[in-house]
Structure formats: structure tokens, C-alpha cells
Amino acid sequence: MSDDDGEQSDKQRYEFQKVIEELDDYSGSGTQLVSIYIPEDRQVSDVVAHVTQEHSEASNIKSKQTRTAVQDALKSIKDRLKYYDTFPPENGMVLFSGAVDAGGGQTDMVTEVLESPPDPIESFRYHCDSHFLTEPLQEMLGDKGLYGLVVLDRREANVGWLKGKRVEPVKSASSLVPGKQRKGGQSAQRFARLRLEAIDNFYQEVAGMANDLFVPKRHEMDGILIGGPSPTKDEFVDGDYLHHELQDMVLGKFDVSYTDESGLYDLVDAAEDVLAETEVMKDKSEMEEFFEQLHDGGKATYGFDATRQNLMMGSVDRLLISEDLRKDVVTYDCGSREEFELVDRRADTPAHTCENGGEGEVVEREDAIDHLIELAEQRGSEVKFISTDFEKGDQLLSAFGGIAGILRYSTGV
């Protein structure tokens, strides 16, 4: 995967995460918040027909308030669906609509459409509840990564993918390896030789399946996991059956009892610790480099103000942002210059005293990450989102305000 693709993916994930967190904060009285998940192969006209049917059936809801709220939500969804052609965008789409509590007995109508989620939507879902159904999207965003999976013994093999948290079986094969008991009339030596040849042929067949599937995706993959009983998995990996570029991507060999499709799921469970470590390794190397530059190299910056200044100067090579940063940036007009203040997302916009002593006038309030990413894109700086699942990643958030950068050159800022 190219850095641009990774950056785009991280940005998309952040945008989704932000909307999901907003949706999770909403609640409605009764079952009046509507969520609809639409796969990419579901015709929009079918969905419109379904929504029309639900609108008609909603007239039977006893509570007038709930009935009106559900019908209003369905009308809003139907209006949004008019903007789409025969099928939804790639990977499908999700629509949320409903009257959410706004305090003091008041409600606000909210309608949100999320197109092309990170993973394909598997099946159509229509859901009414007092909260929006965001769990399927949360699962997609939970783990990134693309891993090749192989499970095999001397009888059968299965090859597939782990995409995020989703296991996708793709190919399977059965072997012609004879059992250990030889048929009458064959010498023990000849039988053993034929059996070894059959095992070798089967391993080559399995490697062929894996190579066909994995080699074209090798630059996007994060690694390969091999599972099965001993000594099969060891013979397969140590025998260099896999394409040489794939051989270097094997993260580990794991004991797995089953080698049918269920074995792929067992393999992912067995490799849980390795997967968690691999996921965070890229983030760890970024933070290691940041701390080295901070202590010895002079090419590090941190905090909103200093990092923003460096971004404006075009000196930031990589912008490091904590995945858990939830701040807004307020821009104030201070006469001859603009000044900025970082505030908690849920806090009111504060008054600001300018450096010249005057009172700043609020120009804009926006998401801090969006603000920084826009500056980074304008000046060719890479954006890296850093997990808090390890010590130095947590320090980025707790000690450095969730914002830092590795510089192209030292600026003294």
C-alpha cells in the first residue's frame, strides 16, 4: 500500500469515526431512530420500496409522537435516496435519521449518510431503536490491516484473507497423500518415497494457491499467517514452497487443529498477540523516531502552536496525530493577525485576549484534526494517526497534547 493510500485510508477512517461518535451521542425517546445498511449490490429502487412499506406500516404505531418521528425519519431517508442511481456507491452506504433529544423536552431532526465504508456492507439491515445502530461500522474501523491466511495438514488446505476483523475464505484443496498404512505388495521404501512425493506435490499445490492470491497484493499486505498441526506447517514454511517475496512476510506459524474454513478463524484467534503487535509496530517506529529527534536530532516539534507554525513553514515531513485526539481549534481575529486556541470538543467557545491586549473576534471553529490535515496536504506533509495502545503512543496524547511532527530540517520553533 502506498503512503498516499494509507494516508487516505487513515483520513477516511477518522472522518467515519468522528461521525459515528456524534451518532452514538444521540438518543431518541422510544424506537424512533432509523438506521439502514445497504450493500453495494442492492438496487436503490428496492430500498425505496422497503422504506415506503415501512412508512405505511408505521401508521400502526400507537404513540403519536413515535409514529410521527418514525415517518419523518423515513421521509428524510427517502428524500436522500433520490440522489442515487441504480446502485449505491462502492462498498454500499448507511443512512441514519431520526428525532434526537435536544434537552428541555425538545427534539432535533438528524439525517446522516455515510458512503463507501472501509469494508463492504454484507447484508441489508433496517433497524429502529432509541439509539442509532453503529456497531457494524465500529467493527470495520476497529482494526486495520490485510493479512494472508493459510491453514493446512496433509489432507486438506484453505487459503484466505483477514481484512480488518473479517475473515474471508477464498480457496481450498484436498490432497491425494496416502495414509501411513501401506497397501499390500508395496515395499516400505517405495511406499515412503511415493508418500513423500505426494506430500511435496500437495505443498506445491497449496503454495500455488497462496502465490496466486497473495503475490498481486504483496505491497498492500501486512503479513502472512500459517496454521496447522506440527510438523506440516513447519515443513511447508521451512521448505521454501512460497514465492520468495511472500516467504519474508510470514509473521509466524501457529498450532491449529482444523484445516477446513473454520481453521482460518482458529488461526486468527491463535495469532491474536502477533496481530496486535504488528498493527502497532508502524506507530511504534514513528514514535521512536520522534523521541530520538526530540532528544538528540533537533528535528521534532510538538503541541498545537509549534506544530502549526512548522506546518505553515513547510518544514514538517510527517504530522503525528493521536487517534484519540478530540479537540476543536478556534480562530480569532486579532486585528493585524489571526490567533488560535485549542479547546475541548464539548466545551463552549471561550473569549480570547489577543497578544496586543485586545479581545479576539471569533472567525471560525473547526475540528483540530481537519484543520491540521488541510495545512499538511497543502504543504506535502504526510499525516500519521498514532494509536494509544502502547506507552509512547499514549504519551503523545497525555504529554504532548496529541499533536507532534518529525521535521525535514530543524527550525528552532
Residue-wise pLDDT for 82-125, tens only, equals 999 899 999 999 999 999 998 888 899 999 999 999 889 999 99
With beta carbons less than 8 A apart as the criterion, state whether 322 and 290 touch.
no
Nearest to 313 by CA among 403, 383, 400, 413: 413
Q: How long is the chain? A: 413
Instruction: Output DSSP code: residue 105.
Output: T
Instruction: Burial-class residue 351 by CB neighbours within 10 Å (0-12, 13-18, 19+).
Output: exposed
Dihedral sign, Cα of residue 52, residue 54, residue 55, residue 60: positive
Mean pLDDT, residues 119-144 taken together: 88
Phi and psi torsions of 30, nearest 5°? 75, -170
Chain-wide mean pLDDT for the chain?
91
Nearest to 223 by CA among 262, 168, 275: 275
Phi and psi torsions of 44, nearest 5°? -60, -35
* Assigned C-alpha cell, 115: 458512503
Q: Cell 521512536 belongs to which residue?
A: 288
Nearest to 11 by CA among 162, 144, 161, 132: 144
* Assigned C-alpha cell, 126: 433496517
Could you report the per-residue pLDDT of 141-173, keeping only the tens digit for each? 765 689 999 999 989 999 999 987 778 999 999
* Assigned C-alpha cell, 187: 515395499
pLDDT score, position 145: 81
pTM of whole model > 0.95? no
At position 108, the amino acid (one-letter code) is D
pLDDT score, position 2: 43
Phi and psi torsions of 164, nearest 5°? 65, -115
